[in-house]
Structure 1
Amino acid sequence: MEPAQSPNLADLLSGLSSPEDASRKMAAFKLQSLINDPSFAEHFVLAGGLSRLRTLVLESSGNTLAYSLASFARLLEVDQGWEAVNNKVVEKVVELVVCQPLVNILRGAMAILVSIVSRPYYADRYSQLGSNHNAGGFQALKPAIALYPQFLEMLVTRLSSADHALCANALQLINSLMRDAITNDNETEWPKFIKRIQDLGVIKAVYVLMQSSALQDLAHPLLEFQALTKILLRRWRDVPVDLVKPEHRRTIKAVHLSSNPDKPAESEARNGEAKPKHNPYKWRRLGFTSETPEPDFAETGFLGMMDLSDYVRKHQDEFQNILLEQSVTPEQNRCPLARASLTLTAILFEHFEVDKVELEDSKSYLALESRTNFDKVFKPLLLHWSRLHVAGLHAFFRIWKATGAETADFPKIVELVRILVESVVGGAERTKGIEEIEKEMAAFEYHKLRELQMELLELTYEDVWGQHLRGVKEELHTEALQFVKEQRIRCLLAGSWFPNGTYTDQEGGGPVTEDSLVQNSTHGYRFVRLSETRKYLHWGDFDEKEEQAPSTSSLRDKIDLSIVSSVVSNVTANERSSFSSDSTLKELAHDRFTTNKITIHGYLPKSRGARSEHSRTSSKTSSARSASKETVLLTFHPNSHSVASEWLDGLLMLLEQQPITAETNRLIHMISDYGLKVRLLNVRFNDEEGIVEGMDGLDGPEIPSREGLDDGYYYEI
């Protein structure tokens, strides 16, 4: 029983072969939408429609040609009509791509070529492919391209079209040609084709598209091109360097000749030697590990050789100058240029995850549904591989020289450059230009790289040890706090001179009694010192600052710290600091300060004798505070922010309170941070509690010998 045919099919076939152009145009227009149905397409071919459609493709023009091309392309997409594809059809379509200016015609023509070039990838999925089932891939286009040699150039030019659909079709065809060449051509042929289309500017054109706002319309072909770029890089990496191969031998020889090698010595010629002696440092001079270069390319393959050759070719003067400069440098201080280049290739290979091709990953396609994910999926900088390699190599040389590195430090410089690439390249937005990236890599400071390195090291240990590391941080913070507390209190024990200002009845210092509190002073100096017992603050006023600090016994006034209620300061104009031991925030009334000032508040005893008591119970202090009014005990003016920080936080910590100035807190953080870094740098990576991935093979530091030492040692607390 024959399948039921569409009621429009007979009329459609009649229209396609009509002598009237209008009828042919209308029939071809309708066919565009109907042919998407595989069942209808099959019936169309069985009914003899294929020959009529082929005739229109070869002989029509204008919109009729455009609709016919679109219909024929969709017919091939549903795997029908291959028997109509022959050299004549291919030649016609290639001619259209080269010569036809109309966008709607170009779209259909390119879509047909995409199906033809891509056909080998589907050949094993179907059993009925027609008599010409071997006519596919780039080979099917070569006879036509021989007639129209400007085909590839015109194809790349179409990538700059204002019509996004045409750009997508052109890029899709380029992708198909690249994939076919990589898959089906031999080792020597596909690199030639890739180089040819790259020379025509395909990389620059795709880079512009990948950075443009039209990404939504071109997402899939752009993602495919990005994946194909990774496949190319991987294919080059997987080609082992073999100096028996002419191309490899020529490439490495060009690198050597570009280094401006020394000419044979005249003495050798005078000695009558037929051939000059082989330079024993021919390859090591260029930075290879030994005089046999091949092993150095084991990780990066021919890709590493290409990158090195590209750098030498484009920066020959710089290459020669570096080698000349290093020739007068001690051998251990020379930067191994070739090894550095190959290392950069490996770093970029790892950074862009070239071994992971996400083209077939459905998650990547799902990510394309949201514009916000474009920056995560697309990596335009991958297309500028060579420029990134050179920029990284320049950074390697710069860091090597800045750090005074030696041969043994090579792995350390590698890690810094790896962090640089991750930071600058990995942190770049999709729309950031390669020129900006090059400038950032050239200007990135060494100390900032070290900070990033320590942060990454800390994060690595955080991932592995987590809770244990947090405990270490808390312990180190406590130790740093105690260390800084002792340092600040020792400043108080040493005492300091403070210039006297003008004090009002509310601000002046004086004997600590209600009768003698107020004291006006317009000149001279005030000396303040903490007693050895750390319970009293002694002070006195002097007309002049003496060379020798006065003794504690010569200071006639003192404050019992047990009656202190709060310490207030205006350490900086922009950072008002105050603290109250009664949890009452004290603010100074004025907003603009011209000097640093520290004011100590407390509860005065009723009698002078009361203040000389050496100890008070908490209940007595509490009752005294409830019966007395809080007042100013002492005011002094530190002559610098640093001294003000020492005294303010020293007094607060002496009262068992937390420091509040930024300077002290920075000091605490710095000490605890350095302590953590020292511990991290000395922790064994293969500790039983955790192994840091990729670093478990490192040897720990050498344990010093105790030979010649006895047990007579002690720790001073």
Structure 2
Amino acid sequence: MDNINIPELVGRLGAEEDSVRKMAVFKLQSVIGDPSFADVFIYEGGLPRLRFLALHATGNTLAYSLTAFSRLLELDKGWDQVSQELIERVVELVVTHPLVNILRGAMSILVAIVSHPQNRSSVPGQFGFRALKPAVAVYPQFLEMLVSRLSSADHALCANSLQLINSLMRDAITNDSDSEWPKFIAKLQNLGVIKAVYVLMQSTALQDLAHPILEFQSLSKVLLRRWQEVKVDLEKSDHRRALRSLGSVGNPDRYSEEKDAVKGSKRSHPEKWRRIGFETESPAWEFDRTGFLGMMDVTDYVRKNEDGFQKLLLEQSNQPSERRCPIARASLAVTSILFEHFEVDKSDLDDGHRYISTESRSNFDKLFRPLLLQWARLHTAGLNALLRLWKATGAEVEDFHKVEELVRILIEQVVGNAPRIKDIAEVEEELAEFGYQRLRELQMELLELTYEDAWGHHLRQVRDELNHEALQFVKEQRIRCLLSGAWFPHTLNYGTDSGPVTKQSLSRAITSSWRYVRLSHNRRYLHYSDFESKTPQDPGLDSLREKIDLSIVSSVVSNVSATTPTTTSSSSTLKSLPASSTTKITIHGYLPHPPSSKTPSHTSPHHRTKSTSSHGPKESVLLTLHPQSHTLAAEWLDGLLMLLNQQPITADTNKLVGLIGGYGIKIRLLNVRFEDGVGEEPVLPGREGVDGEFWYDIGGMEGG
């Protein structure tokens, strides 16, 4: 500013030569944003000359003039020069002019005019959208051209167009009457504004358009809130008309629609509204929670799927009354679920601006919700999903809230986890195909997390207890497998045509003898004997000639752990062998010393160290088993380890323990109400009106 002679600059703005005016206004646009410069510029009489250029200049001179004027308005200065003539000129430029640099400045001026607080103006109608209406009446294609600019390849022009649309929407919602703003919004929607912004929100140009897109997203929430806050009022013709159209679809006898069925016409079918899924024949009050938004959703669903809706009503009418899905109630439930999912009650505009200033582009997916703009299609897909789950679960009317909760989880899972660039068609397909069993699993996981938050260490204690019980249960099951006994191939021969013994030829081995092994009833001895072939009946303990005293067993060696996930402790006696094509379990132990030995034969093996002296007992192979299946290997390996008070190590056993413990915690959660663990302490019942002995146990929730 120090290097600019402001009076001279103002004088050049009124020069006869266009080149002089162009250079002057070019310099002006870069410095007019300084408030002190703007004050001097206005004092020197520059405003009328700048306004004249905005009205009559062409080419770059016009572009620079519009930019300078818009920046002056952003400083909240120069409003006395804003007239209907200027507004009409700028609207004309937006509609007719092809040059991008002129369009940017023109739209910026209109944004400032529409967004200017009206309480600062002494002239009614000079600002806000109403200031543009006379000019828009002259150029009725204004809104259409504005929406078409959203597909411009110039990101700055695109941002300016969306910013102006946002300003018009916000002004209409704030200042128009209840009957006017819905018409304006509907006109914009019919011109394709939602589709255009949806494309922008999924595009790679998102960062350049972040602020206006976030504002549009916020305004979409404002609109949803406004529609939700509008109560269904049968005194309003559009509300009455919407409800009547819905009722005519649900009337199987097709009585005259000229009568107002809502007011209880005698010619109406006695269960017309209940047939659709309302609770009564006066359904207006049932929209209290969702307001006119719920009315819009259900009528939109019926209007776009009238044939399918009629078929659905026919199917429902053939079901017993308790098995019919209340379709209207279901529609309102989906509306509420979407309303809560997108947190429509909260405005994310301010948080969005702070987020953009601090976060990188990679985190934009957390902030932008393009699926919010596909509200109607999400509602239809959600309602169809609820109807599908109702049929799949064989639900009855009293189960409605349970199915509703499944849909809530479905929306959170599919819509909530959808990335920004995921197309609505893919989301609809996933909602239509998501399995019921998977939903139930998610429901149990969420239920467990909910109780974890509410009860904390109490639930962890229960889980630990159940896991311990599950481990003891599986231990008993595995040991019972040993008590039942099992056959194991003992020696393997190979045919003369089999060639050399290799990993590939092992599968052609011929069992020449069998070994039967069984645990004694007192669980102290492992009995076994070898047979040439399997006997029709399993041998009894008295026919097994060999036995092993389990007190001398030192370790169990197997290669099962090499092929399955394991969890071992530092004190485990399991040893891992290299993986082979056959499964082998080897039992090691310390044989008693002969009588001449100085080492007592009754010394406990648990007291012997791994490294023994040359005079101490030597670890030997007591028994080798070759399980023929992975299941048999898991049963016997973990059974032997658990019999020796070791932890199980095979994936099969650990999975079984986890499964039993998991079912235990789920069963307990399903039998306990959430409010039992949180909230106020229960009040002890009084004795008034109680005859005889009576006691009450809060902990057990029992009475007697």
Which interval holds the TM-score relative to the shorter structure?
0.7 to 0.9
Q: Is the 8 A contact 1:566 1:582 kept in 2?
A: no
Query: Counterparts in 2 of 1:33-72, with a 5 A limit?
Result: 33-72=30-69
| Corresponding residue to 2:664 among 671, 675, 697 | 675
CA 111–484 in structure 1, closer or farther in 2 if over 3 Å, else same = same
| Corresponding residue to 2:678 among 684, 690, 704 | 690
Name the SS of the counterpart of 2:516 in structure 1: strand
Counterpart check, 1:596 vs 2:583: yes
Name the SS of the counterpart of 2:159 in structure 1: helix
| Corresponding residue to 1:207 among 191, 195, 198 | 198
Name the SS of the counterpart of 2:347 in structure 1: coil
CA distance in 1: counterparts of 2:170 and 2:90, whole angstroms:
20
Equivalences, count: 656
CA distance in 1: counterparts of 2:330 and 2:357, whole angstroms:
36
Query: Counterparts in 2 of 1:635-650, with a 5 A limit?
Result: 635-650=624-639
* Superposition deviation, residue 639 in structure 1: 2.4
Name the SS of the counterpart of 1:523 in structure 2: strand
C-alpha deviations, 1:357-403, integer Å up to 9, x for none?
12244774555643233122211111111111111111111111111
* Superposition deviation, residue 54 in structure 1: 1.3
The answer for the alignment partner of 1:80 in structure 2 is: 77
Q: Is the 8 A contact 2:478 2:639 kept in 1?
A: yes
**Structure 1 counterpart of 2:30, one-letter code:** S
Deviating more after overlay: 51-60 vs 4-13: 4-13
**Structure 1 counterpart of 2:452, one-letter code:** E
Name the SS of the counterpart of 1:430 in structure 2: coil
CA 228–622 in structure 1, closer or farther in 2 if over 3 Å, else same = closer
C-alpha deviations, 1:552-598, integer Å up to 9, x for none?
11100111111212222334883387989975663334x441x3332
Percent identity of equivalent pairs: 62
Name the SS of the counterpart of 2:638 in structure 1: helix
CA distance in 2: counterparts of 1:668 and 1:582, whole angstroms:
20
CA 561–609 in structure 1, closer or farther in 2 if over 3 Å, else same = farther
CA 684–328 in structure 1, closer or farther in 2 if over 3 Å, else same = closer
Query: Counterparts in 2 of 1:309-348, with a 5 A limit?
Result: 309-348=299-338
The answer for the alignment partner of 1:586 in structure 2 is: 575
Deviating more after overlay: 486-495 vs 359-368: 359-368
Name the SS of the counterpart of 2:178 in structure 1: coil
Q: Is the 8 A contact 1:566 1:580 kept in 2?
A: no
CA 564–503 in structure 1, closer or farther in 2 if over 3 Å, else same = farther
The answer for the alignment partner of 2:497 in structure 1 is: none
Name the SS of the counterpart of 1:686 in structure 2: helix
**Structure 1 counterpart of 2:92, one-letter code:** E
The answer for the alignment partner of 1:389 in structure 2 is: 379
CA 530–291 in structure 1, closer or farther in 2 if over 3 Å, else same = same
CA distance in 1: counterparts of 2:403 and 2:644, whole angstroms:
48
**Structure 1 counterpart of 2:417, one-letter code:** G
The answer for the alignment partner of 1:290 in structure 2 is: 280
Counterpart check, 1:665 vs 2:662: no
The answer for the alignment partner of 1:112 in structure 2 is: 109
| Corresponding residue to 1:162 among 142, 153, 156 | 153
CA 6–247 in structure 1, closer or farther in 2 if over 3 Å, else same = farther
* Superposition deviation, residue 674 in structure 1: 0.8
The answer for the alignment partner of 2:469 in structure 1 is: 479
Counterpart check, 1:656 vs 2:668: no
CA 146–608 in structure 1, closer or farther in 2 if over 3 Å, else same = farther
The answer for the alignment partner of 2:248 in structure 1 is: 257
Q: Is the 8 A contact 2:104 2:160 kept in 1?
A: yes
CA distance in 2: counterparts of 1:465 and 1:434, whole angstroms:
39
The answer for the alignment partner of 1:30 in structure 2 is: 27
CA distance in 2: counterparts of 1:331 and 1:542, whole angstroms:
68
TM-score for both structures, normalised by structure 1: 0.86
TM-score for both structures, normalised by structure 2: 0.88
The answer for the alignment partner of 1:715 in structure 2 is: none
Q: Is the 8 A contact 1:524 1:542 kept in 2?
A: yes
The answer for the alignment partner of 2:504 in structure 1 is: none
The answer for the alignment partner of 1:433 in structure 2 is: 423
* Superposition deviation, residue 258 in structure 1: 3.1
Counterpart check, 1:499 vs 2:489: yes
Q: Is the 8 A contact 1:9 1:44 kept in 2?
A: yes
The answer for the alignment partner of 2:526 in structure 1 is: 537
The answer for the alignment partner of 2:341 in structure 1 is: 351
Deviating more after overlay: 358-367 vs 411-420: 358-367
Q: Is the 8 A contact 1:596 1:639 kept in 2?
A: yes
| Corresponding residue to 1:458 among 433, 444, 448 | 448
The answer for the alignment partner of 1:631 in structure 2 is: 620
Q: Is the 8 A contact 1:368 1:374 kept in 2?
A: no
Name the SS of the counterpart of 2:186 in structure 1: helix
* Superposition deviation, residue 460 in structure 1: 0.9
Counterpart check, 1:235 vs 2:226: yes
CA 605–545 in structure 1, closer or farther in 2 if over 3 Å, else same = same
**Structure 2 counterpart of 1:669, one-letter code:** G
* Superposition deviation, residue 9 in structure 1: 1.4
CA distance in 2: counterparts of 1:625 and 1:528, whole angstroms:
30
Name the SS of the counterpart of 1:204 in structure 2: helix
Counterpart check, 1:12 vs 2:9: yes
The runs of 5 or more residues in structure 2 that have no matched partner are: 257-264, 495-509, 684-704
Q: Is the 8 A contact 1:538 1:556 kept in 2?
A: yes
CA 313–548 in structure 1, closer or farther in 2 if over 3 Å, else same = same
CA 311–185 in structure 1, closer or farther in 2 if over 3 Å, else same = same
* Superposition deviation, residue 278 in structure 1: 2.9
CA 522–217 in structure 1, closer or farther in 2 if over 3 Å, else same = closer
**Structure 2 counterpart of 1:678, one-letter code:** I
**Structure 1 counterpart of 2:381, one-letter code:** A
Name the SS of the counterpart of 1:283 in structure 2: helix
**Structure 2 counterpart of 1:86, one-letter code:** S
The answer for the alignment partner of 1:247 in structure 2 is: 238
The answer for the alignment partner of 1:183 in structure 2 is: 174
CA distance in 1: counterparts of 2:565 and 2:109, whole angstroms:
75
The answer for the alignment partner of 1:570 in structure 2 is: 559
Q: Is the 8 A contact 1:579 1:586 kept in 2?
A: no
CA 97–669 in structure 1, closer or farther in 2 if over 3 Å, else same = same
Q: Is the 8 A contact 1:566 1:579 kept in 2?
A: no
Name the SS of the counterpart of 2:518 in structure 1: strand
CA 181–647 in structure 1, closer or farther in 2 if over 3 Å, else same = same
Name the SS of the counterpart of 2:575 in structure 1: coil
CA 581–359 in structure 1, closer or farther in 2 if over 3 Å, else same = closer
**Structure 1 counterpart of 2:533, one-letter code:** E
CA distance in 2: counterparts of 1:84 and 1:348, whole angstroms:
47
RMSD: 2.9
* Superposition deviation, residue 276 in structure 1: 6.7
* Superposition deviation, residue 453 in structure 1: 0.8
Name the SS of the counterpart of 1:601 in structure 2: strand
CA 576–587 in structure 1, closer or farther in 2 if over 3 Å, else same = farther
Counterpart check, 1:219 vs 2:213: no
